[in-house]
Amino acid sequence: MTVDYSALPHHKILCVDMKSFYASCSAVMLGLDPLECYIAIVGDIERKGSVVLAASPKLKKEFGIKTGSRLFEIPNDPRIRLVEPKMATYLRISTEITRLFHRYVPKEAIHTYSVDESFIKVDGASRIWGDAHIIAKKIKDEIEREFQLPCAIGIGPNMLLSKLCLDLEAKKHGIAEWTYEDVQEKLWEISPLSEMWGIGKRLERTLNRMGIFSVGQLARYDLEKLERKFGVMGNQLYHHAWGVDLSDIGAPIMEGQVSFGKSQILLRDYKEEEEVKHVILEMCEEVARRSRIHGKAGRTISLGIGYSQEEFGGGFHRSRTIDEPTNITMDLYKTCLELFKENYVQKTVRKISITLSNIVEDHELQLSLFEMNRMRKRELGFTMDAIRRRYGSGALLRAVSYTDAGTARHRARLVGGHKS
């Protein structure tokens, strides 16, 4: 099969990424050059096991420290500065950068993908500002002049190719552009598959077992077999391998990967089963709340448990698909408890993750003839959400959050999960 690219959208979309955003912001606040200093943003500098949230480019390159590293992995070098996060400040700077984009395009042409990454459709702005390269350079120069922050910008005919261009070329050169003509030469050569945006390690292993090791092999694989294996996502994987993406600005690029999840590295080792269950309940509450906010429900519930490094790490990640979609906290909790009971091996727990996937619209949630108060439970969830929206996430908590094991009270005081 070959794709008729002439029939596809030929937009000019910029994908703007702020380099090591948290670290760069803190560097500027300290009067340092973000590209020349050695800074690590650490969740809590008092805890040796605390996670590195961001590292400056030089710290990544010369010391191998990156997001997800631990504090104890950072060498004792006088050039390295450890800084706790200032999340409220980072968010304010991110908002100001978005306002800078408004100088070039209307707000409906901007999609803030994350605190440090945005998509901008500049199709209609070329007659005012020049072509996409000129606009990208103007934006890059203004961000550096006004905020002293470095960025990289990928340009593509759709959101997918602009993102891939950013990750695979623009981050090395500052600004780069991919067109449909670049797909076979630049996209198909990507291997391992996890370097392709949207393909994680678990999906990569599955594709490898099917004999697919590069994006080019994925593009030439039988489409019907991919759809039988992965459903809608199989169709998307195939077309993304050809550089095809029909989503509008603001829409998720991988519709088939929509899920709601929460992952938490615990502040201490949890040795008692009951303590772990308390945190699981708090996290089920948060995952269910997020799905309700988006008007969604899900059928597949996943629980991940990571054991302490002091007990040589390890853990498990298991999923279970239930008969009816749900966004009710106690439905998630019941399934998570089943998975926990079946797989837990009495080791010290340091990390927990919970995900709700296999997503459908909330109105597809069915009433059970055998559980007459199911609708009442659903409505109770929405009522609790409304109270928290109005009075704050800590305004209404379950009793387990007031035990020594609970983490929700502490996290309610944070911004973006970290100190403000």
Calpha distance 356→326 (Å, rounded): 9
117 is catalytic: yes
Task: Give the count of alpha carbons within 13 A of 377, CB side only.
Answer: 17
Amino acid at 87: M
Q: Two tokens at 335?
A: 């399934």
Pairing relationship of beta strands 151-156 and 175-177 according to DSSP bridges:
parallel
Q: Of 95, 170, 98, which is closest to residue 132 (Cα–Cα)?
A: 170
Q: Of 151, 149, 173, 152, which is closest to residue 34 (Cα–Cα)?
A: 149
Return all residues near 6 (Cβ < 8 A) that are at least 6 apart.
Answer: none
Looking at 73, 117, 142, 195, which residue is catalytic? Answer: 117
Residue with tokens 């100190």: 419
Within 10 angstroms of residue 262's Cβ, the number of other Cβ atoms is 18
DSSP line for 154-201: EEESSHHHHHHHIIIIIHHHSEEE--GGGIIIIITT--SGGGSTT--H
Residue with tokens 């003509």: 181
The SS3 of residue 254 is coil
Detail the DSSP E strand segments found in 281-381. Answer: 296-307, 315-326, 349-361
> Do the Cβ atoms of 258 and 359 come closer than 8 Å?
yes
20 alpha carbon, distance to own chain's centre = 15
Q: Two tokens at 250?
A: 């603001």
Q: Catalytic residues, which ones?
A: 117
